[in-house]
Amino acid sequence: MKFVSSIKSTAVPHQILGASTNEKRELPMCRHSLIARLTIAVFVFQMLGVTSVVHAERPDSTAGTSSAGKLVIGPSCASVALGKASLIVSPLTHRDGNYVGDYQLKVRPYFFKSEKGSLLLAASDDAVRKLQAGTAINFIGQAVTHKDGRTHIVLGRATPSSPDRGSVTFSIVTDDARIVFNASYHFGT
């Protein structure tokens, strides 16, 4: 005796008949897998080039403060889909091989994407000396939101125009995109 089902198939158009459950789960992500792999590869290669360890520490401690002084980043803007993102960074203090401070990211008209948090950028004493001597440096860091503790990877390059100032490019990798900000910097006291 044969059993005949009267239930119609509810297969999603992107699923392949006869594909295993794992294959069915992977299919929707195929278009993003190349971008994800490239982002991970860039992150891994940049991490290998960083000489100092990034410590997850809040910027309210003054232990281990270096004589490198404060790093002041100018405000900057970047275009996002149908809007604009503004980045404001508090003066950063050099501590334990890192520059630490706070940031504020405002996204218009997507106000719900705006956030505030702490910023930590890896910068060994040697890297700061190179920057002050006129050599451009690459850096990596993290931005941690105050609201929910989400962490964003920060990649960047600082290019000096004089011993105490220059330009800096930040790439902040968010859940939705990679936002690139170009700003100026100077060392303060």
* pTM of this structure: 0.64
Q: What's the rounded Cα separation, in Å, for the pair 157 and 78?
A: 16
In this model, does residue 131 exceed pLDDT 80? yes
* Mean local confidence (pLDDT), 37-50: 40
CATH topology for 50-188 is Porin (2.40.160)
How crowded is residue 137: how many other Cβ atoms within 10 Å of its Cβ?
18
Using the structure block, give the residue that is written with the tokens 């992107």. Answer: 14
The model's confidence at residue 69, banded by pLDDT at 50, 70 and 90, is confident
